[in-house]
């Protein structure tokens, strides 16, 4: 009879492991329906934008790795995710040279200077967008109309603008739903918001498709569902209370939930495994913080949207939330453990 070996080891006992490459690749799969809908809604402009930001992120990561004498890490798909997410936070007719610069910043400043994958303090795509918003405030707040008849036969003049040249826009939408409400008191239909039938960033497309992507990742245990649930619940409850108090001044909760980049940020950006807390209580506190900041900025801030700033601020305090919510080691007091 053949000899059998019994291996005895300490926990954890893993029966099936998921690699970083598998997780990142599935995140890309989950993003694809919303990205393809954005291309359908905005045509060549959205396709070129997403291609440019993704190519820029991938090339930047590859050459920074080569420059520092390391093996290129582009095969882990993380740079592809950063590029796609960056492109989805930008207006469809955003000049391509600015978009390319954003990809370089997202990887170089948002990821590489912190040590690469697994070490970034902030979501890299949002770092890139934050710099672009500070550098090009007009271009990043100029919106094009969705579902135009010529979106697959023509490319907007602004898209092909030369570097450091002032872009010219062929057709400009009046405002995003958030801007229209904040400055003019106009409410968009909830169904239009949910299905992406409005102007705005490339990622302000079908929130239904974004949620389906999130459910896919959560179902495969590749996303901590507590984070988006905490964010969306906080926004819904907080804005709902305000609307009940004064419906003339504050929008209904459904409008706040489906407008802007909330769904994209809650599902794909706030859930960044590196920049978010690890403890179960910590992620709930993290989500409540983000949701509260979004409502505060949208209602009382000078800008109509606050998702980017809310997530970046929460990224900054994420390590402190983790430290404050660590489970007590058996046999010790919390005070002794912290010490």
Distances (CA, A) of 100 to 63, 64, 94, 104, 122: 15, 15, 10, 7, 20
H-only helix segments in 43-116: 44-67, 78-88, 96-108
CB atoms within 10 A of CB 242: 18
Give this prediction's pTM. 0.88
In this structure, what are the phi and psi dihedrals at residue 3, rounded to the nearest 5 degrees?
-75, 140
Q: Which of 135, 122, 34 is nearest to 94 (CA)?
A: 135
Residue extents of the structural domains in the chain: 19-172, 174-326
Using DSSP's 3-state secondary structure scheme, residue 110 falls into coil
CA atoms of 98 and 101, how far apart (whole Å): 5
Report yes or no: 211 and 194 within 8 Å, Cβ to Cβ.
no
pLDDT by residue for the chain (339 residues), tens digit each?
Answer: 556 666 655 544 444 567 888 999 999 999 999 999 999 999 999 999 999 999 999 999 999 988 988 888 888 899 999 999 999 999 999 999 999 999 999 999 999 888 777 788 899 999 999 999 999 998 998 888 888 889 899 998 888 888 887 777 666 665 788 888 888 788 888 888 888 777 788 887 788 899 999 999 999 989 999 999 999 999 999 999 999 999 988 999 999 999 889 999 999 999 998 889 989 999 999 999 999 999 999 999 988 899 999 999 999 999 999 999 987 666 666 555 555
CA atoms of 305 and 311, how far apart (whole Å): 12
Retrieve residue 223's tokens.
């996303």
């Amino acid at each position: 009879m053949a000899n059998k070996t019994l291996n005895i080891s300490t926990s954890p006992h893993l029966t099936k492991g998921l690699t970083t490459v598998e997780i990142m690749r599935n995140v890309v799969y989950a993003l694809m329906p919303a990205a393809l809908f954005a291309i359908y809604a905005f045509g060549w402009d959205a396709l070129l934008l997403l291609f440019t930001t993704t190519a820029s992120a991938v090339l930047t990561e590859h050459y920074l790795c080569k420059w520092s004498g390391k093996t290129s890490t582009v095969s882990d798909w993380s740079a592809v995710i950063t590029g796609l997410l960056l492109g989805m936070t930008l207006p469809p007719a955003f000049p391509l040279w600015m978009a390319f610069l954003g990809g370089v910043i997202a990887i170089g400043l948002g990821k590489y200077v912190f040590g690469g994958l697994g070490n970034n303090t902030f979501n890299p795509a949002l770092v890139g967008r934050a710099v672009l918003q500070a550098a090009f405030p007009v271009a990043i707040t100029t919106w094009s109309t969705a579902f135009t008849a010529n979106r697959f036969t023509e490319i907007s003049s602004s898209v092909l603008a030369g570097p450091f040249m002032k872009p010219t826009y062929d057709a400009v939408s009046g405002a995003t739903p958030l801007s229209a409400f904040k400055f003019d008191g106009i409410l968009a239909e909830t169904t239009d918001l949910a299905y992406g039938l409005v102007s705005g960033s490339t990622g302000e497309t079908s929130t239904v498709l974004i949620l389906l992507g999130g459910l896919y990742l959560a179902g495969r245990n590749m996303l901590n569902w507590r984070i988006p649930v905490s964010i969306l619940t906080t926004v819904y409850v907080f804005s709902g209370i305000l609307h009940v108090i004064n419906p003339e001044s504050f929008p209904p909760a459904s409008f706040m939930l489906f407008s802007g980049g909330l769904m994209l940020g809650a599902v794909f950006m706030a859930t960044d495994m590196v920049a978010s807390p690890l403890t179960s209580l910590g992620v709930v506190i993290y989500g409540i913080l983000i949701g509260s900041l979004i409502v505060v900025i949208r209602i009382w801030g000078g800008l109509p949207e606050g998702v980017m700033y809310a997530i970046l601020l929460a990224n900054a305090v994420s390590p402190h939330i983790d430290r404050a919510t660590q489970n007590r080691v058996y046999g010790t007091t919390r005070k002794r453990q912290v010490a």
